[in-house]
């Protein structure tokens, strides 16, 4: 563990003693925006107590960057084995000294009044979790297309930019540590189901710079996200919608297969006798088998 301490700048932040906050940031082989994140935290109108970097990188680039950094907010650098973001955040929260935890990601840069606005809402609304809002930045044509077909230009609710009481986080059981993504969505839904008092900031408090720069990278990322989401009980509405659309497409294709593909030619290799019955029986068998495997 490495810890880097220095004195605060002369500029006093507002409401400095209002809440005691640690900023937790999981990082893995991505130091591109880390300096901007440090600057963003240093320039907060309400300074946190510390920054906790949980680093699961395969190199020492982040370690070197932190060693060269000279800022007012102390940095704890925790080097761990390869970990998913949820696992890294759990480690960071456990190590953090503060009563409140603020979350950022390695590609999420905070606005200068991020913490102040979150704290004001936490105090005013008397809540234990304040959700963040992020704007997704796009500096290339492809990224703009990707943003338009996914997140859009309006602010999106995100875990990065959020703050929460450490005590409540521990009661929630933390993030699922064994999945690559969607652990943040699952955790937020679980927190709300627990009856935790929550609210969301009214305006964006962070900017996200992690959109993929090319089609292949985007496909790989969304595939991994889909596989991780399938392992959790989230986005039920979307899952049901996609499954319904798929079943409708398969049903239409099956019903019209011998007509449009085989041309009703029974001697054709593409002709499938009793295809509708085979399709329906297959659906029933798959349903029974999957219900058996997925039974608690």
pLDDT tens digit sequence for 55-88: 999 999 999 999 999 999 999 999 998 889 999 9
Q: Is the dihedral of CA 33, 98, 184, 158 positive or negative?
A: negative
**What is the bridge-based pairing of β-strands 2-4 and 75-79?**
antiparallel
The CATH superfamily assigned to 2-229 is: Spore Coat Polysaccharide Biosynthesis Protein SpsA; Chain A (3.90.550.10)
What is the Cα–Cα distance from 157 to 227, expressed in whole angstroms?
Answer: 22
Global confidence as pTM: 0.76
pLDDT at residue number 34: 95
What is the Cα–Cα distance from 48 to 145, expressed in whole angstroms?
Answer: 36
Enumerate the H helices of the chain as residue ranges. Answer: 34-42, 61-68, 85-95, 114-125, 141-148, 166-172, 183-193, 215-229, 236-256, 275-294
Residues 155 and 149: beta-carbon distance below 8 Å: no
Instruction: State the pLDDT confidence band at 1, using cuts at 50, 70 and 90.
Output: very low
Q: Is the dihedral of CA 69, 75, 81, 87 positive or negative?
A: negative
pLDDT at residue number 271: 79
Instruction: State the pLDDT confidence band at 231, using cuts at 50, 70 and 90.
Output: low
Residues 201 and 118: beta-carbon distance below 8 Å: yes
pLDDT at residue number 20: 92
What is the 8-class DSSP label of residue 260? I
Q: Report the percent of the chain where pLDDT is more than 90.
A: 59
Most confident of 12-21, 156-165, 214-223, 269-278: 156-165
pLDDT at residue number 241: 66
């Amino acid at each position: 563990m490495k810890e880097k301490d220095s004195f605060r700048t002369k500029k006093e932040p507002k409401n400095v003693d209002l809440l005691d906050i640690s900023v937790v940031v999981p990082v893995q082989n991505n130091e591109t925006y880390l300096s901007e994140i440090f600057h963003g935290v240093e320039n907060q109108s309400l300074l946190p107590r510390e920054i906790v970097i949980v680093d699961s990188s395969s190199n020492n680039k982040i370690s070197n960057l932190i060693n060269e950094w000279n800022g007012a907010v102390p940095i704890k650098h925790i080097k761990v084995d390869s970990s998913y973001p949820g696992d890294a955040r759990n480690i960071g929260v456990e190590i953090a000294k503060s009563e409140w935890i603020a979350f950022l990601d390695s590609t999420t840069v905070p606005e200068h009044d991020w913490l102040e606005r979150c704290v004001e809402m936490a105090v005013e609304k008397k809540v234990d979790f304040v959700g963040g809002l992020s704007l997704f930045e796009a500096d290339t044509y492809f990224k703009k297309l990707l943003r338009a077909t996914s997140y859009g230009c309006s602010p999106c609710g995100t875990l990065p930019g959020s703050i929460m009481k450490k005590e409540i986080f521990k009661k929630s059981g933390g993030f699922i540590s064994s999945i690559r993504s969607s652990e943040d969505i699952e955790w937020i839904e679980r927190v709300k189901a627990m009856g935790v008092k929550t609210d969301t900031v009214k305006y964006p408090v962070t900017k996200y710079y992690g959109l993929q720069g090319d089609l292949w990278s985007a496909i790989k990322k969304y595939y991994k996200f889909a596989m991780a989401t399938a392992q959790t009980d989230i986005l039920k509405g979307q899952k049901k919608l996609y499954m319904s659309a798929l079943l409708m497409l398969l049903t239409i294709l099956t019903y019209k297969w011998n007509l449009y593909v085989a041309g009703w030619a029974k001697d054709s290799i593409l002709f499938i006798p009793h295809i509708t019955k085979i399709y329906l029986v297959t659906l029933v068998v798959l349903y029974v088998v999957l219900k058996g495997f997925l039974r608690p």
